[in-house]
């Protein structure tokens, strides 16, 4: 948590006269959108307005969240996003650890005059004016709750805040399954339910939203899972042509990589997907126990994340990327 002196300073910055912007990472997920909107609704409960800016668009299954549709999407509204960042007095940076994770907005953020406040659970955070980083905590949404507690404002938590924070905790823990899910997590979730978050409604809004395109793509991916490295590594992939053929929509491939990890004996799963528009391969890594995909992706695939969940990218072709990946596995003795 921030130190008491930092909390005091932050409290002094949170006044209606100050322009406040909340930023989150590229390809926002449930935790990114949940923490941003949760914080926005918390600030509003304190009488302060803030704008949420995301680098690019986010999946439909997150747009049910209160005021999600008011988010400013940088890729569609560049000028508005630039002005907000440039004119801000305070910028909250949520669920990312480096300006490089927010695309074009990163340059604007670095040049902005605002005080920058980081709240994030990824490994190796970069420098910001105020840093609350904790890689043990499973979701940034949980950290927003701890921040509200530290500000002595738990009584302000309302249904909107509760719904947003519940969603991010649920998605980033894989439905309260991942290793980092703690008793603290469950205590907070219990509080959020008491404040109005309805688990069945949130689960159904977020997860029971399959599109036909998603299921067809899933069938295709599952049909060709390859297990390499003596049965310890699963490889999944999709080409741009396939995405186009099946009518891919943003978010359709969310969670595919987890199927690889569910195979008995597999310790690492990697999902390679050609970008729909640009010539690069987006990679998702998941792992078990002490297999560190954050380090692996940082070292070889220009990425990072958490020990057991990370992302990366490659500028080689899809087959070459997968070949390179297999060679790196050998080099690392994974
Ligand atoms: P996903 O595979 O779901 O895209 O990402 C898994 C985790 O790694 C998320 O916490 C995400 O924020 C992080 N991540 C994804 N892609 C990148 C990347 O290119 N660079 C870094 N540093 N982190 C990433
Ligand atoms: Mn997160």
Q: Which CATH number goes with the domain that contains 151?
A: 3.90.1640.10
Q: Which CATH number goes with the domain that contains 274?
A: 3.10.310.30
- Among 311, 20, 10, 305, residue whose Cα is nearest residue 132: 10
Q: Are residues 181 and 42 in the same domain?
A: yes
Q: Are residues 191 and 224 in the same domain?
A: no
Q: Are residues 55 and 199 in the same domain?
A: yes
Q: Are residues 18 and 149 in the same domain?
A: yes
Pocket of ligand 1 contains residue 59 by CB under 6 Å:
no
Q: Are residues 58 and 179 in the same domain?
A: yes
Q: Which residues keep their CB under 5 angstroms from ion ligand 2? A: 31, 95, 140, 172
Name the residue at shortest CA distance from atom 6 of ligand 1: 310
For 167-210, the pLDDT digits (tens) are 999 999 999 999 899 999 999 999 999 999 999 999 999 999 99
State how many domains the chain has. 2
Domain boundary among 168, 183, 207: 207
Q: Are residues 195 and 292 in the same domain?
A: no
How many angstroms is it from 140 CA to the middle of ligand 2?
5
34, 198, 263 from 170: Cα distances, Å: 10, 12, 23
Domain boundary among 154, 173, 207: 207
Q: Are residues 166 and 277 in the same domain?
A: no
Rounded CA separation 334/326 (Å): 10
For 49-80, the pLDDT digits (tens) are 999 999 999 999 999 999 999 999 999 999 99
68, 271, 292 from 263: Cα distances, Å: 35, 14, 18
Domain range for 302 is 212-332
Round the average pLDDT of the chain to a whole number and report it.
97
Pocket of ligand 1 contains residue 312 by CB under 6 Å:
yes
Q: Are residues 165 and 141 in the same domain?
A: yes
Name the residue at shortest CA distance from atom 7 of ligand 1: 310
Nearest-atom index, ligand 1, CA of 29? 3
Provide ipTM, 2 decimals: 0.96
């Amino acid at each position: 948590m921030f130190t008491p002196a930092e909390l005091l300073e932050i409290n002094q910055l949170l006044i209606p006269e100050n322009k406040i912007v909340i930023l989150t990472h590229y390809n926002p997920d449930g935790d990114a959108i949940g923490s941003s909107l949760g914080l926005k609704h918390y600030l509003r409960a304190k009488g302060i307005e803030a704008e949420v800016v995301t680098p690019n668009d986010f999946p439909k299954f997150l747009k049910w969240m209160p005021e999600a549709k008011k988010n400013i999407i940088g890729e569609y509204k560049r000028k508005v996003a630039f002005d907000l960042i440039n004119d801000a007095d305070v910028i909250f940076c949520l669920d990312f650890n480096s300006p490089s994770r927010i695309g074009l907005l990163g340059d604007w953020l670095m040049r902005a005059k605002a005080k920058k406040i980081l709240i994030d659970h990824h490994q190796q955070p970069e420098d910001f004016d105020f840093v609350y980083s904790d890689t043990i905590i499973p979701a940034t949404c949980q950290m927003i709750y701890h921040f509200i507690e530290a500000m002595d404002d738990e009584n302000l938590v309302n249904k909107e805040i509760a719904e947003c924070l519940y969603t991010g905790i649920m998605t980033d823990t894989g439905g309260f399954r991942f290793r980092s899910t703690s008793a603290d997590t469950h205590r907070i979730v219990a509080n959020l339910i008491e404040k109005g978050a309805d688990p069945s409604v949130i689960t159904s809004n977020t997860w029971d939203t399959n599109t036909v395109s998603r299921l067809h793509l899933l069938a295709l991916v599952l049909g060709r899972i390859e297990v390499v490295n003596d049965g310890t590594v699963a490889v999944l992939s999709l080409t741009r042509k396939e995405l186009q053929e099946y009518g891919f929509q943003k978010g359709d491939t969310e969670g595919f990589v987890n199927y690889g990890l569910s195979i008995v004996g597999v310790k690492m799963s990697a999902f390679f997907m050609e970008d729909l528009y640009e010539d690069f391969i987006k990679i998702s890594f998941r792992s078990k126990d002490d297999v560190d995909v954050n380090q692996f992706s940082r070292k070889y695939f220009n990425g990072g994340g958490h020990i057991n969940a990370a992302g990366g990218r490659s500028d080689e072709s899809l087959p070459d990327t997968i070949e390179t990946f297999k060679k790196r596995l050998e080099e690392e003795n994974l």
